Structure 1
Amino acid sequence: MIERYNDHAANERTFLAWVRTALAIMAFGFLVEKFDLFLEVAAASLNQPNFPLGGRIIGDVAGLALIVLGAVLMVVSAVRYRAVRRAIAAADIQQSGAGHGDLLLVGLLVTLGCTLFVYLIYTVAKTL
Protein backbone atom coordinates (compact mmCIF):
# COMPACT_ATOMS: atom_id res chain seq x y z
CA MET A 1 0.00 0.00 0.00
CA ILE A 2 1.22 3.49 -0.82
CA GLU A 3 1.82 5.65 2.22
CA ARG A 4 -0.63 8.60 2.35
CA TYR A 5 -2.53 7.16 -0.61
CA ASN A 6 -5.61 9.35 0.00
CA ASP A 7 -3.52 12.52 -0.16
CA HIS A 8 -1.78 11.41 -3.34
CA ALA A 9 -5.11 10.46 -4.94
CA ALA A 10 -6.63 13.82 -4.02
CA ASN A 11 -3.59 15.59 -5.49
CA GLU A 12 -3.96 13.64 -8.72
CA ARG A 13 -7.69 14.41 -8.94
CA THR A 14 -6.94 18.09 -8.45
CA PHE A 15 -4.29 17.94 -11.17
CA LEU A 16 -6.72 16.29 -13.58
CA ALA A 17 -9.34 18.94 -12.81
CA TRP A 18 -6.79 21.64 -13.68
CA VAL A 19 -5.98 19.85 -16.94
CA ARG A 20 -9.68 19.58 -17.86
CA THR A 21 -10.12 23.28 -17.11
CA ALA A 22 -7.10 24.17 -19.24
CA LEU A 23 -8.45 22.09 -22.14
CA ALA A 24 -11.84 23.81 -21.83
CA ILE A 25 -10.17 27.23 -21.89
CA MET A 26 -8.18 26.25 -24.97
CA ALA A 27 -11.31 24.94 -26.70
CA PHE A 28 -13.14 28.15 -25.85
CA GLY A 29 -10.21 30.12 -27.29
CA PHE A 30 -10.50 28.14 -30.51
CA LEU A 31 -14.23 28.86 -30.59
CA VAL A 32 -13.63 32.58 -30.10
CA GLU A 33 -10.96 32.51 -32.80
CA LYS A 34 -13.37 30.94 -35.30
CA PHE A 35 -16.41 32.99 -34.22
CA ASP A 36 -15.54 35.65 -36.81
CA LEU A 37 -16.21 33.12 -39.56
CA PHE A 38 -19.73 32.64 -38.19
CA LEU A 39 -20.25 36.42 -38.06
CA GLU A 40 -19.08 36.83 -41.66
CA VAL A 41 -21.48 34.14 -42.88
CA ALA A 42 -24.32 35.63 -40.83
CA ALA A 43 -23.58 39.12 -42.16
CA ALA A 44 -23.53 37.85 -45.74
CA SER A 45 -26.87 36.08 -45.30
CA LEU A 46 -28.41 39.27 -43.87
CA ASN A 47 -26.97 41.39 -46.70
CA GLN A 48 -24.90 43.37 -44.22
CA PRO A 49 -21.56 44.95 -45.13
CA ASN A 50 -18.39 43.06 -44.34
CA PHE A 51 -17.42 42.60 -40.72
CA PRO A 52 -14.99 45.36 -39.67
CA LEU A 53 -11.30 44.55 -39.36
CA GLY A 54 -11.11 45.89 -35.77
CA GLY A 55 -13.59 43.27 -34.61
CA ARG A 56 -11.63 40.50 -36.30
CA ILE A 57 -8.43 41.60 -34.60
CA ILE A 58 -10.08 41.65 -31.16
CA GLY A 59 -11.54 38.19 -31.70
CA ASP A 60 -8.27 36.79 -33.00
CA VAL A 61 -6.22 38.22 -30.14
CA ALA A 62 -8.71 37.11 -27.48
CA GLY A 63 -8.95 33.61 -28.96
CA LEU A 64 -5.20 33.19 -29.22
CA ALA A 65 -4.73 34.58 -25.71
CA LEU A 66 -7.18 32.01 -24.34
CA ILE A 67 -5.37 29.21 -26.14
CA VAL A 68 -2.01 30.36 -24.76
CA LEU A 69 -3.52 30.85 -21.29
CA GLY A 70 -4.83 27.28 -21.37
CA ALA A 71 -1.37 26.00 -22.28
CA VAL A 72 0.20 28.05 -19.46
CA LEU A 73 -2.42 26.69 -17.08
CA MET A 74 -1.40 23.13 -17.99
CA VAL A 75 2.24 23.88 -17.25
CA VAL A 76 1.37 25.56 -13.95
CA SER A 77 -0.82 22.64 -12.94
CA ALA A 78 1.96 20.14 -13.69
CA VAL A 79 4.45 22.15 -11.64
CA ARG A 80 2.01 22.42 -8.72
CA TYR A 81 1.17 18.72 -8.91
CA ARG A 82 4.83 17.74 -8.62
CA ALA A 83 5.47 20.20 -5.78
CA VAL A 84 2.49 18.95 -3.78
CA ARG A 85 3.48 15.35 -4.51
CA ARG A 86 6.94 16.00 -3.06
CA ALA A 87 5.41 17.78 -0.06
CA ILE A 88 3.08 14.85 0.65
CA ALA A 89 5.95 12.36 0.40
CA ALA A 90 8.23 14.43 2.65
CA ALA A 91 8.71 13.21 6.20
CA ASP A 92 8.51 16.67 7.75
CA ILE A 93 5.62 19.11 7.61
CA GLN A 94 6.17 21.84 5.05
CA GLN A 95 4.66 25.28 4.89
CA SER A 96 2.46 25.88 1.85
CA GLY A 97 4.08 28.32 -0.56
CA ALA A 98 0.89 29.84 -1.92
CA GLY A 99 1.99 32.17 -4.67
CA HIS A 100 0.26 34.92 -6.52
CA GLY A 101 0.32 33.00 -9.79
CA ASP A 102 -3.23 31.74 -9.26
CA LEU A 103 -4.50 35.27 -8.79
CA LEU A 104 -2.64 36.37 -11.90
CA LEU A 105 -4.26 33.60 -13.97
CA VAL A 106 -7.70 34.49 -12.62
CA GLY A 107 -7.06 38.15 -13.39
CA LEU A 108 -6.08 37.27 -16.96
CA LEU A 109 -9.22 35.18 -17.39
CA VAL A 110 -11.42 37.98 -16.05
CA THR A 111 -9.72 40.49 -18.35
CA LEU A 112 -10.20 38.23 -21.35
CA GLY A 113 -13.81 37.61 -20.36
CA CYS A 114 -14.48 41.35 -20.16
CA THR A 115 -12.75 41.87 -23.50
CA LEU A 116 -14.93 39.21 -25.09
CA PHE A 117 -18.03 40.78 -23.55
CA VAL A 118 -17.17 44.16 -25.05
CA TYR A 119 -16.34 42.45 -28.35
CA LEU A 120 -19.72 40.73 -28.48
CA ILE A 121 -21.54 43.97 -27.67
CA TYR A 122 -19.56 45.66 -30.44
CA THR A 123 -20.45 42.97 -32.98
CA VAL A 124 -24.14 42.99 -32.02
CA ALA A 125 -24.27 46.78 -32.25
CA LYS A 126 -22.70 46.66 -35.72
CA THR A 127 -25.28 44.18 -37.01
CA LEU A 128 -28.23 46.28 -35.82
Structure 2
Amino acid sequence: MIEKFQDHATNERTNLAWIRTAIAIAGFRILVERLPSTPNNTWAGLALVLLSATLVLLASLRFLVIRQQIDAQRLDRLSFGRIEVLFSATLALLLLTVFVFLLRLVRSG
Protein backbone atom coordinates (compact mmCIF):
# COMPACT_ATOMS: atom_id res chain seq x y z
CA MET A 1 0.00 0.00 0.00
CA ILE A 2 1.28 3.44 -0.88
CA GLU A 3 1.77 5.65 2.11
CA LYS A 4 -0.36 8.83 1.98
CA PHE A 5 -2.13 7.47 -1.11
CA GLN A 6 -5.08 9.87 -0.81
CA ASP A 7 -2.77 12.89 -0.81
CA HIS A 8 -0.82 11.59 -3.80
CA ALA A 9 -4.03 10.85 -5.71
CA THR A 10 -5.36 14.33 -5.01
CA ASN A 11 -2.09 15.86 -6.18
CA GLU A 12 -2.22 13.85 -9.40
CA ARG A 13 -5.86 14.79 -10.10
CA THR A 14 -5.00 18.46 -9.66
CA ASN A 15 -2.06 18.07 -12.04
CA LEU A 16 -4.27 16.43 -14.65
CA ALA A 17 -6.83 19.21 -14.32
CA TRP A 18 -4.14 21.79 -15.09
CA ILE A 19 -2.95 19.73 -18.06
CA ARG A 20 -6.51 19.58 -19.43
CA THR A 21 -6.79 23.34 -19.01
CA ALA A 22 -3.54 23.84 -20.92
CA ILE A 23 -4.76 21.57 -23.73
CA ALA A 24 -8.01 23.54 -23.94
CA ILE A 25 -6.06 26.80 -24.18
CA ALA A 26 -3.89 25.40 -26.94
CA GLY A 27 -7.02 24.16 -28.70
CA PHE A 28 -8.45 27.67 -28.56
CA ARG A 29 -5.73 28.54 -31.08
CA ILE A 30 -7.72 26.68 -33.75
CA LEU A 31 -10.62 29.07 -33.23
CA VAL A 32 -8.28 32.06 -33.44
CA GLU A 33 -6.75 30.78 -36.67
CA ARG A 34 -10.19 30.31 -38.29
CA LEU A 35 -11.23 33.91 -37.73
CA PRO A 36 -10.70 36.39 -40.59
CA SER A 37 -6.99 36.36 -41.37
CA THR A 38 -4.91 39.15 -39.91
CA PRO A 39 -1.32 39.27 -38.65
CA ASN A 40 -2.79 39.36 -35.14
CA ASN A 41 -4.14 35.82 -35.58
CA THR A 42 -0.65 34.40 -35.90
CA TRP A 43 0.66 36.26 -32.86
CA ALA A 44 -2.38 35.47 -30.74
CA GLY A 45 -2.22 31.79 -31.72
CA LEU A 46 1.48 31.65 -30.91
CA ALA A 47 0.87 33.36 -27.56
CA LEU A 48 -1.85 30.85 -26.69
CA VAL A 49 0.43 27.91 -27.45
CA LEU A 50 3.33 29.40 -25.48
CA LEU A 51 1.11 30.16 -22.49
CA SER A 52 -0.30 26.66 -22.70
CA ALA A 53 3.21 25.21 -22.63
CA THR A 54 4.02 27.43 -19.65
CA LEU A 55 0.99 26.10 -17.80
CA VAL A 56 2.10 22.52 -18.46
CA LEU A 57 5.57 23.36 -17.14
CA LEU A 58 4.20 25.04 -14.03
CA ALA A 59 1.73 22.21 -13.41
CA SER A 60 4.55 19.69 -13.61
CA LEU A 61 6.70 21.75 -11.27
CA ARG A 62 3.83 22.07 -8.81
CA PHE A 63 3.15 18.33 -8.99
CA LEU A 64 6.77 17.45 -8.23
CA VAL A 65 7.09 19.94 -5.36
CA ILE A 66 3.88 18.77 -3.70
CA ARG A 67 4.80 15.10 -4.22
CA GLN A 68 8.15 15.67 -2.55
CA GLN A 69 6.47 17.49 0.34
CA ILE A 70 3.94 14.68 0.80
CA ASP A 71 6.76 12.12 0.88
CA ALA A 72 8.67 14.22 3.41
CA GLN A 73 5.42 14.59 5.41
CA ARG A 74 5.66 18.35 5.47
CA LEU A 75 3.63 20.75 3.41
CA ASP A 76 5.55 23.99 3.03
CA ARG A 77 2.97 26.65 2.23
CA LEU A 78 5.65 29.15 1.17
CA SER A 79 6.81 27.19 -1.89
CA PHE A 80 3.23 26.24 -2.69
CA GLY A 81 2.26 29.93 -2.65
CA ARG A 82 5.03 30.88 -5.07
CA ILE A 83 3.86 28.34 -7.60
CA GLU A 84 0.28 29.56 -7.30
CA VAL A 85 1.46 33.13 -7.96
CA LEU A 86 3.17 31.89 -11.15
CA PHE A 87 -0.06 30.16 -12.19
CA SER A 88 -2.02 33.35 -11.60
CA ALA A 89 0.47 35.43 -13.60
CA THR A 90 0.32 32.98 -16.50
CA LEU A 91 -3.46 33.02 -16.53
CA ALA A 92 -3.45 36.83 -16.37
CA LEU A 93 -1.17 36.89 -19.43
CA LEU A 94 -3.54 34.54 -21.17
CA LEU A 95 -6.52 36.77 -20.49
CA LEU A 96 -4.56 39.83 -21.61
CA THR A 97 -3.59 38.08 -24.85
CA VAL A 98 -7.18 37.14 -25.64
CA PHE A 99 -8.44 40.63 -24.71
CA VAL A 100 -5.88 42.40 -26.92
CA PHE A 101 -6.57 40.03 -29.81
CA LEU A 102 -10.32 40.53 -29.60
CA LEU A 103 -9.94 44.29 -29.25
CA ARG A 104 -7.79 44.47 -32.40
CA LEU A 105 -10.20 42.19 -34.23
CA VAL A 106 -13.14 44.46 -33.40
CA ARG A 107 -11.24 47.59 -34.43
CA SER A 108 -10.06 46.14 -37.76
CA GLY A 109 -13.34 44.68 -38.86
2:50 to 52, 68, 77: 68
1:26 aligns with 2:26: yes
1:94 to 68, 75, 78: 75
Identity across aligned pairs (percent)? 35
- Say if 1:33 and 1:59, in contact at 8 Å, map to a contact too: yes
TM-score in terms of structure 1 length: 0.74
Cα distance in 1, alignment partners of residues 6 and 62 from structure 2: 17
TM-score in terms of structure 2 length: 0.86
Q: Which runs of 5+ in 1 are unaligned?
A: 38-55
Runs of 4+ in 1 over 4 A off after TM superposition: none
Residue identity opposite 2:64 in structure 1? R
The alignment partner of 1:27 has SS state of: helix
Higher radius of gyration, 1 or 2 = 1
Residue identity opposite 1:7 in structure 2? D
1:104 aligns with 2:86: no
Cα distance in 2, alignment partners of residues 85 and 110 from structure 1: 29
Matched residue, 2:62: 80
1:116 aligns with 2:101: yes
> What's the RMSD between the two structures over aligned residues?
1.6
Cα distance in 1, alignment partners of residues 76 and 42 from structure 2: 42
Count how many residue pairs are aligned between Structure 1 and Structure 2: 105
